[in-house]
Structure formats: structure tokens, C-alpha cells
Amino acid sequence: MLHGLMMDYPLTLDVIVEHARRMTPRKTIKTKLPDGAWHEYDYAEFYRRVKKLGNALAALGVEPGDRVGTFAWNTFEHLELYFGIPGAGAVAHTLNIRLSPEQLKFIINHAEDKAIFVDGTLLPLLEPIAAELETVERFVVFNCDQRQAVNLPNATHYEDLMAEASEDFEWRCTDEDMALGLCYTSGTTGMPKGVLYSHRSMMLHTLGVMQAAALGPTEADVVLPVVPQFHAMAWGLPYACAWVGATIIMPGRHLQPAPLAEMIEGERVTIAAGVPTIWNGLYHELRRNPRDISSIAQLVVGGSAMPRGLIEAYERDFNVNVAHAWGMTEMSPIGSVSKLQTRHSDLDEAGRWDIKAKQGYFVPGVDARIVDDDGREVAWDGETMGELQVRGYWVARQYYKLEHDHEHFTDDGWFRTGDVVTIDADGYMTITDRTKDLVKSGGEWISSVDLENRLMSHPDVLEAAVIAIADETWGERPLAVQVPLEGSCDEQALNAWLLERFPKFWLPDRYVAVDEIPKTGVGKMDKKALRQMFADGELDPHPKPSAP
Ligand code: AMP
């Protein structure tokens, strides 16, 4: 074999920051602070602080390979951590602030985080569990007034650490196969599972995100990542934006429709990215209080299906182009984007919206196949359904500390997504169902199985099933169907029972009592039949006649 003679230039994250320092040092990063004022600095200053952070981490005793947690909104400090932690050879473990205390404890202990960097506004969520975090030696607090009480053991202020640290730092990410980040994602049952990104996979993902067929940010863009940094690496935008030198607008904790509308108008945002719930809220806000959002070239939406009607409404009412994306934490996360191609130029409006409502066209670098129940690959004809399996440069090959996992990974090297899809002859994918027994509400997962198990342990409940019901605001909400042991169940009591274990947003919106829960041939609860019974949010528990 004749080998090529090209350099083995490493796919490590320092390449991005070094490039930004040289190419776009004057471009800016702005953060909305808790009081509504702006914090602003340029990439040159960002670079200096990332290097200081490298030294600060070393001074804290963080070694290459150590996991370091972040518990924060989207802010400039969180962005520094995104680069500084992997730059120090350690692993940025982004903690989802919406998890229950039980889940948080589990993932921090499972990851064996050595230190946690926490936003001062989120202390009340972390302080109560701090004593049960087995491996955390240090807490570092930022975005926090020095006079504010911090009830965490071994806590330091971020800015104190930064003030002491030198800017002279040698990158410790010396190998592209080193782990860079860790993000846990919900399983159908039990505790979340960790996805461990490498420098190589994340650099290739970043190049993927930079493709025009994907999100394609450029230096000229002003990018507002509303998607939290604790959700699948904010869809890779922080890394892609820094590499191209785009202006970054970090919304901090201001995720409500009115401040978002103000930010988009005031900062002339060109790319904004978030889940459908966010854009649904913004749409209604703009109808009430009009603002000029014409600067937006791409309203990126993903994480849940974007309703076709909302895509249409944005385009029709505000002339805003929606880019509907599908991805997964396990895919870093970008998988597909529903952008129009040249061959769609003669389509009418309705045809265009149909295409945009699909989950999209696979980004180069992602390979896909559909497999039926018998494990056979099926045709891309836009009609035949099956489970979507993927592989590629930025797809996980295993969950953290979970070897020999034949449930999620096939023997021939594909990842099983748990999404049921069709793909048309042009390569556009449509999600039709999920094999994962989960509810996705406002971009956050709720485990139906965990809710069911807890409900069934209540003394008044004989049997319970939880299914997702379509919801205009949240995408999906849980509906609990239960068979009472006698007479009826008190909903308030059931809610209180669930609240002992789960966050408030997990509580079912509705409870419906039935005589019996339908079962499949092998005696499992037939969720498909239940979903059909309660389709479209109608709460009449009688099967609809099927279409002729
Ligand atoms: P997560 O890992 O939390 O990002 O969740 C990934 C899952 O969210 C996917 O497997 C899908 O079930 C769902 N999902 C993500 N994007 C979309 C989308 N555009 N439309 C429908 N479902 C989506």
C-alpha cells in the first residue's frame, strides 16, 4: 500500500482558539447578565482568559483525563470552560440544570467529577446535594457577588482564580483521541447514560456544523445559541462560531420570549438556535409586541419536531427562514437538517413547508439506514418505516462505563437511534414514532417508565401507563392512564407521590382512569394502542375507528 504524504495535523480543540486569536481577535462575545446589562469582550480577551483557565485548573489539581462539571446557563464563563477544560486535557462534563436531585447526584458520582464550576444564580439547586457528591474536591463559583453566601464545601470564586493565574499556558490536549466532553442523556428507565466526546470527534463535528448543508455559520454571522450549553454541547455552535469568528450572543438566564425578541432585534441576530417550545413562545410574543426580526437568516430548530404550521407562520408572517434539524446527544448532536435544495426551486409554498417540516437531509459525515423488526434494511421510498440507525465521524460507539451494550449498538457498527422513520428517495428523513418510551417536553426528557413504576407503587393504583400527548406549547406532555385499585384515585395525592421523586415538570398534565390497559400479544402494555386511543390530545378513552 502506498500511504499519502500529508501532515498528521491534530484534531484538537486548541486549533480553534489559536485560529480565532489570529484571524478574528476583534470580533465580540456578548453575554446578558442577570440584571439585564451586557458583558462584552473580544476574542483576544477570550483567548487570554481560556489560557489563564488552563493554569487555574492545573493549580486546582485537575489532571488530563479528569472530569470537571459545569452547572451553568449560556454565558461567557461557560464558553471559557468549554475551551479551557478540554485545553487542560480534562473533560468538560456539562450538567443539565433541569435534572432531579437524584439524577444529578447519580451522574456526578458516576462521572466521578473532580471539580464543579457553578453559576452563582444556580447555587440553590446544587447546594442541597453537595454533601452526597463523592468525588468532588472543589467547587468554583462564577457570576456571583463576593458577598453572596456560598454553602458549598471548598468553594472558590472563579474571578479570584483567574486573577492569580498566568496567561502563559501550554495546551495539555496533546492527543486527538483524548476525551473532551461528557454529556448524559436520558434512558427510558433507570439513570441517564454518558456520551464521551473526543477532541477528534468534536473537531470533525465542528467542521460538519460549519458546512452550508448543516448550520453553516460564517464570520459575518451574529449567533444566538438559545439551546443550553448543557444540551448536547449547544448543538456544536460554540465551537463552530469560535472557529469562523462569528459574533456570539449568550442569553444567560434570559430565555423568556420578550427578552429573546429584544436581543434578536437589538443585536441584529442572524442565526438563532433553540427547541420548538422557545420559537413557539417567541412567535406569540411577536404577534403581541411586534419587533423587527428580519435580520434572521436562519432560525434553527431541533430537539423535537417543529410543527409545520409554525414553520409556515414564521415564513409567512415574519419572512423568517426556518432550518429544522434533527440530532441526538449521541451524535454530538447534528444528524440532519431540512434545508431546501436547488431542485426544490420550482416548488410552491406548501411544497416547501412540507419539506422543511421533515427532519431533514443527512449532513455529509453521517451515514444512515432504516432497519425493520427482523433486522433487515428497508427501502428509502418515503413510506416504509423502520428504526433509524446511524454511524459516522461524530457518533458514539459506546456509553461511558457501559460495555457490551447490544441494546443500543449493533454488532456491525451502527448506533440504534430509537427513532422510527421513513426516508424518501431524495434522502429526506421523517420521524414517525419512537421506540424509546420517553416524553419530550420543551426539549427535556421525561421517563414514562419511571413515572409508571412510581405510580404503580402507590397503594391506590393497580396499573398505570404513561404516554406522550401532543402539546402546542411543550411539544409533548405526559398523560397518565391508570386502573384504580378501587373506585378512583385522588389526582392530588398521585401528584404529591410523584413529586417526592421527580421534578415538577414531570407531573402528568392529565390522569385518565380506565378499566383495563390494553396489552400486546406478549402481555406488555400496548403503548401504540394507548397512543391511538388518546391521539391528538383527545381524552376520550375509546379507540378511534381506523381510516378506511
Ligand atoms: P437528545 O439526545 O436529548 O437531543 O434527544 C434526541 C432525540 O430527540 C432524537 O432521537 C429524537 O427522538 C428527538 N428529536 C431531536 N430532534 C428532533 C426533531 N427535529 N424532530 C423530532 N424529534 C427530534
Show the beta-strand stretches assigned E in 411-474. Answer: 415-423, 428-434, 438-441, 444-447, 461-471
CATH number of 438-533: 3.30.300.30
Task: Look at residue 117 in the predicted model and tell me its pLDDT.
Answer: 98
CATH architecture assigned to 14-207: 3-Layer(aba) Sandwich (3.40)
Residue of 205, 233, 328 best suited for mutating to test ligand 1, as the one with most atoms within 8 Å of CB: 328
Task: Look at residue 533 in the predicted model and tell me its pLDDT.
Answer: 85
Q: Which CATH number fits domain 365-434: 3.40.50.300, 1.10.620.20, 3.40.50.1100, 2.30.38.10?
A: 2.30.38.10
Q: Would you state the cell numbers that stand for residue 468, as one nine-digit string? A: 406522550
CA-wise closest residue to 269 among 285, 290, 246, 289: 246
Task: Look at residue 189 in the predicted model and tell me its pLDDT.
Answer: 61
Residue of 440, 441, 471 best suited for mutating to test ligand 1, as the one with most atoms within 8 Å of CB: 440
- Options 77, 312, 330, 387, the catalytic residue: 330
Stretch(es) of the chain classified as CATH 3.30.300.30: 438-533
Task: Look at residue 529 in the predicted model and tell me its pLDDT.
Answer: 86
Task: Look at residue 540 in the predicted model and tell me its pLDDT.
Answer: 52
Q: Is the pTM of this model over 0.85?
A: yes
Q: Which residues does a 6 A CB cutoff place in the pocket of ligand 1?
A: 185, 232, 302-305, 324-329, 333, 359, 417-419, 431, 434, 440
DSSP 247: E
Show the beta-strand stretches assigned E in 130-286. Answer: 138-142, 155-157, 179-185, 193-198, 222-225, 247-250, 271-274
For residue 359, the ligand 1 atom closest to its alpha carbon is 19
CA–centroid distance, residue 9 to ligand 1 (Å): 33
Active site residue 265: no
Active site residue 185: yes
Spatial separation of the C-alpha atoms in residues 371 and 293, rounded to whole Å: 42
For residue 431, the ligand 1 atom closest to its alpha carbon is 21
Residue of 227, 231, 304, 310 best suited for mutating to test ligand 1, as the one with most atoms within 8 Å of CB: 304
Active site residue 330: yes
Whose grid coordinates read 482568559?
49
For residue 232, the ligand 1 atom closest to its alpha carbon is 4
CA–centroid distance, residue 431 to ligand 1 (Å): 9
Stretch(es) of the chain classified as CATH 2.30.38.10: 365-434
In the chain (548 residues long), the average pLDDT of successive 10-residue segments reads: 96 98 98 97 98 98 98 98 98 95 95 98 97 98 92 96 98 98 82 95 98 96 98 97 98 98 98 96 97 98 93 95 97 95 84 92 97 94 96 98 94 96 95 87 89 90 91 93 88 93 93 88 80 68 40
